[in-house]
Each structure stands twice: as structure tokens, then as C-alpha cells.
């Protein structure tokens, strides 16, 4: 029955097959062998499995697929990692071209194997694949870091993606960072994100961590920022695609805005954004450091007689244990912004909590420029949550427990 169908109909059926099934079907008879080499089938396979639609001139799509498979067929998460990089590249092209220019071409399998031999440990597959696509950043260009960071009045962090050579030169088989590879660093403020490639030192294998405050890294207390490299990279790529972060002079600042967290009055909207700063946080005494950026905007279609000036602020701050603190005062960060139709104003401030969670809400009092009347403009409740932490002491207990279990 199937063989009675014309070629056009059979090709439609064959498009639903996995490339391994196509190879098997091609062995059935000469007709299927001919049809299974049809360019339309392999063009789809290249696009679906490798997100690739650039076939070299003179090369068939079947030959192109074979070439891609030889290069990347071993990587089960190729599509997901490539999608993440596509999103990152698209964002950089539009918003941060100087960062895009620092991304280096990928390395070869031979170079990866040489590093693995040097550190005497295999690299996780998803990390290997990422290095096949881009070999970190060229930091000699002095561009902002790809992996973003935070900026407050006394501190700036911008994480650059490390190269494979950096992985090779910084890997240690002993000490507080034993069994970990660096993913990104800010050498000025001594901040870094690492991934454990071994669990024998108390880290969870393939988990991504960010350091707490410790310039010497003698303790290497850290926060969990990704359960896998794929999760870490994809989550960041998705947030870039959604324009979830603030970009300032091509610096990606990871102030995140929860879309539903908006309030306002008299044509003014108030949007709080938050950023956790691990390198300014501590395990002992417990200190979780957060920056927040408040954005106030007056819509362009607001009647001009509602133009006003910010007079004062009020905050109600509550930690995870329910302990409350009230703060009030004139202006915001020493400023008294005037809001007219189409105007906007934003500022950055910070707070700390002894608990891993905390929240803030409050309001601003504005004075009408024409009448002098005062109006309260609310700021919605916004929550701050620190990632799970893993201290050096906890890691030592994990190692000790494993040693006891193994006799």
C-alpha cells in the first residue's frame, strides 16, 4: 500500500521520521534509498536538530547533515545550547555590540581533549559544547562582561565569560575550589561563577555557584545559581530575550522586574527591580545584600496639570522572620525629580537582610506644581530572595559523611 504512493506523498511521510529511521528506511529498496537522500528531507533535519540553514555551495543537504552530525552529533543538548547562544547573540547585536565583538570563535574537539588531559578530568558535555560555539570573551578589548553584574554607588561587577585556556590555567585539584572550573569572572571585585565538575570535595557535580564575600576565597562559601550549565545559560539567555535586565552603556545589570509588580497614581507608574549581590553577602554573620532600582514614569498622555515633584518617600521593610523596619525621609537619593508627561526617573539603592528573603513596599508623596496639593503614589510590594547557599563548613561535613559511608 505504501509503495503505491507517488514520490511526493512518500516524501511527506518521510519528513516525519528521525534521521536514524531515515537511514534505516533507505536500506529497504532502491526507491526508498533514492527518496531518503532527497534534499528537502535533510534540509529539515539540519534545521530541526542543528538549527542550521546554511548549506555550502556545491554541497547537498544530506552531505551537510553528515558534516554537522560528525561535529556535534555526540551532544544530546545541542539544540538547547545553540538556541541559548542564538538568543544571546541576537540580544548583543541589538543592545551590546561591543560585547558581541569580544566573543571568540569556538574551539575544536582536539583542544577540548587536550585540556581534559591536562586537568585529568572530563568536562561536562554541555560546557564542552558551549566552548565549541564560543571560546569565552577576549578580555583585552576591555568590554563589559557578557554574563552581566550589578552597579551601585560603591561597587560595580561585570562578569566576563572565561576562555578554555582560563579553565586550564585556573583548575585546582586541591584547596577550597578543588574540582571546580571557572565560568565567568570579574577580576576587579574578585567575583566569579564556577561549576563543579567533581563531587568529591562537597560540591554538587555540574552545579553552578557564585561566591560570597571573601577576597582571599579561603573559605569559598557560595550560592547555588544553576543546577546545571544548561539551566544557567538558558535562564540567562531567556531573560536577555525578554529584556528583563537593565542595560547601561552596554553593561548588562541584572536588575530583574517581575512583570506584575507595578503600581501608581496620577498618571505615574512605579516599577521596582531587584538584584541580589552574592559577592557583598556573607554566611557569617548572615548578610544577604540586595540592590534595587526603582523606575517612576509619567505617561505621555497624562494631563499637564498633573505635573508634580517628588517630595518624600516612605518604606516598610520586612525580613523573612517578620521583623519590620520603617524608613522615611525627603526626596530619593538626594533628588527631588519633577514628573511631567513623558518624564521618567530611576535610582538605585540597596538593603541587607539577615534572612534569605525579605520584602519592601512604600509610597512617595508628590506635590502638584500648579496647586501645591500633595498626592500619595504607592510603590508595590516587591520581594527579594537569595539563592540557596553552600558554605565551606557544610562541604566539609558532606565530605566527612561520604568518607564514613565508604568506610
| Average of per-residue pLDDT across 102-130 | 97
So what's the pLDDT on residue 213? Answer: 64
What percent of the chain is modeled with pLDDT above 70? 97
3-state secondary structure the chain: CHHHCCHHHHHHHHCCCCHHHHHHHCCCCHHHHHHCCCHHHHHHHHHHHHCCCCCCCCCCHHHHHHHHHHHHCCCCCHHHHHHHHHHHHHHHHHHCHHHHCCEEECCCHHHHHHHHHHHCCCCCHHHHHHHHHEEEECHHHCCCCCCCEEEECCEEEECEECCHHHHHHHCCCCCCCCCEEEEEEECCCCEEEEEECCCCCCCCCCCEEEECCCCCCCCCCEEEEECCHHHHHHHHHHHHHCCCCEEECCEEECCECCCCCCEEECCEEEEEEEEECHHHCECCCCEEEEEEEEEEEECCCCCHHHCEEEEEEEEEEEECCCCEEEEEEECECCECCEECCCCEEEEEEEEEECCCEEEEEEEEEEEECCCCCEEEEEEEEEEEECCCEECHHHHHHHHHHHHHHCC
The pLDDT assigned to 126 comes to 98
Backbone angles phi and psi of 355, in degrees to 5: -90, 165
Entry pTM: 0.90
373 CB neighbour count, 10 Å cutoff: 10
Q: What is the pLDDT of residue 128?
A: 98
pLDDT at 53: 83
| Phi then psi dihedrals of residue 198, to 5 deg | -145, 150
pLDDT of residue 369: 97
Which residue, 224, 220, 179, 223, is CA-closest to 392?
A: 220
CB 165 within 8 A of CB 159: no
pLDDT at 391 over 70: yes
pLDDT band at 216 (very low <50, low <70, confident <90, very high): low
Range 246-251 average pLDDT: 94
Most distant CA pair in the chain, distance: 89
Looking at domain 255-390, its CATH class is: mainly beta
Asked if residue 215 has pLDDT above 70, the reply is: no
What cell was used for 288?
544577604
Q: Would you state the pLDDT for residue 188? A: 81
Residue 161, pLDDT above cutoff 70: yes
Q: Where are the domains of the chain?
A: 2-72, 78-237, 255-390
In this predicted structure, what is the pLDDT of residue 30? 84
pLDDT in tens, 35-55: 888 888 888 989 989 999 888
Asked if the model's pLDDT at residue 247 lies above 70, the reply is yes
pLDDT digits (tens, 9 = 90+) for 124-160: 999 999 999 999 999 887 889 999 999 998 889 999 9
What would the mean pLDDT of 308-321 be, rounded to a whole number?
98
Average model confidence (pLDDT) for the chain?
A: 92
Equal fold, 2-72 vs 78-237: no
- Residue 355 — very low, low, confident or very high, per pLDDT cuts 50/70/90? very high
What is the pLDDT at residue 24? Answer: 85
The average pLDDT across 308-325 equals 98
CA 311 from chain centre, in angstroms, equals 37
Q: What is the mean pLDDT of residues 240-247?
A: 95
Interval 245-268 mean pLDDT:
95
Q: Which three cell numbers stand for residue 32?
A: 526508498
Does position 214 have pLDDT exceeding 70, yes or no?
A: no
- Quick one: average pLDDT of 360-374? 97
Q: What confidence category does residue 101 fall into, taking pLDDT thresholds of 50, 70 and 90?
A: very high
Q: Note the CATH architecture for domain 78-237.
A: 3-Layer(aba) Sandwich (3.40)
* Percent over 90 (pLDDT), the chain: 72
pLDDT of amino acid 272: 97
> CATH top-level class for 2-72?
mainly alpha
The mean per-residue pLDDT over the stretch 216-242 comes to 90
Average pLDDT of 269-292? 94
Amino acid at each position: 500500500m505504501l509503495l503505491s504512493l507517488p514520490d511526493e506523498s512518500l516524501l511527506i511521510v518521510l519528513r516525519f521520521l528521525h534521521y536514524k529511521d531515515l537511514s534505516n528506511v533507505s536500506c529497504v529498496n532502491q526507491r526508498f534509498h533514492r527518496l531518503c537522500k532527497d534534499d528537502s528531507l535533510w534540509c529539515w533535519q539540519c534545521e530541526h536538530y542543528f538549527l542550521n540553514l546554511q548549506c555550502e555551495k556545491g554541497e547537498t543537504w544530506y552531505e551537510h547533515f553528515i558534516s554537522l552530525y560528525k561535529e556535534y552529533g555526540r551532544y544530546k543538548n545541542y539544540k538547547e545550547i545553540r538556541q541559548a547562544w542564538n538568543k544571546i547573540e541576537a540580544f548583543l547585536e541589538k543592545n551590546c555590540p561591543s560585547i558581541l565583538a569580544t566573543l571568540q570563535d569556538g574551539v575544536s574537539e582536539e583542544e577540548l581533549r587536550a585540556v581534559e588531559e591536562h586537568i585529568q578530568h572530563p568536562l561536562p558535555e554541555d560546557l564542552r559544547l558551549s566552548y565549541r560555539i564560543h571560546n569565552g570573551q577576549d578580555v583585552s578589548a576591555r568590554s563589559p562582561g557578557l554574563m552581566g553584574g550589578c552597579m551601585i554607588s560603591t561597587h560595580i561587577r561585570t562578569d566576563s565569560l572565561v576562555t578554555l585556556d582560563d579553565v586550564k590555567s585556573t583548575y585546582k585539584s586541591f584547596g577550597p575550589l578543588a574540582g571546580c572550573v571557572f565560568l565567568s569572572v570579574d577580576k576587579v571585585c574578585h567575583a566569579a561563577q564556577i561549576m563543579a565538575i567533581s563531587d568529591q570535595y562537597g560540591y554538587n557535580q555540574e552545579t553552578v555557584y557564585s561566591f560570597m564575600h571573601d577576597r582571599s576565597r579561603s573559605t569559598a562559601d557560595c550560592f547555588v545559581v544553576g543546577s546545571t550549565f544548561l539551566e544557567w545559560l538558558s535562564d540567562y539567555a531567556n531573560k536577555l530575550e525578554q529584556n528583563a535586565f537593565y542595560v547601561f552603556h552596554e553593561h548588562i545589570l541584572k536588575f530583574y522586574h517581575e512583570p506584575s509588580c507595578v503600581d501608581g497614581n496620577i498618571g505615574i507608574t512605579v516599577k521596582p527591580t531587584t538584584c541580589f549581590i552574592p559577592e557583598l553577602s556573607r554566611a557569617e554573620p548572615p548578610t544577604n545584600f540586595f540592590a534595587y532600582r526603582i523606575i517612576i514614569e509619567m505617561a505621555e498622555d497624562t494631563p499637564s496639570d498633573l505635573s508634580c515633584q517628588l517630595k518624600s518617600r516612605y518604606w516598610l521593610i520586612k525580613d523573612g522572620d517578620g521583623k519590620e523596619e520603617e524608613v522615611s525621609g525627603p526626596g530619593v537619593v538626594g533628588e527631588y525629580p519633577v514628573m511631567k508627561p513623558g518624564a521618567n526617573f530611576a535610582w538605585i539603592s540597596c538593603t541587607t537582610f539577615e534572612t534569605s528573603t525579605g520584602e519592601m513596599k512604600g509610597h512617595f508623596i508628590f506635590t502638584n506644581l500648579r496647586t501645591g496639593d500633595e498626592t500619595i503614589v504607592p510603590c508595590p510590594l516587591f520581594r527579594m530572595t537569595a539563592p540557596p547557599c553552600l558554605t565551606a563548613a557544610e562541604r566539609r561535613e558532606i565530605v566527612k559523611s561520604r568518607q564514613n559511608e565508604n568506610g
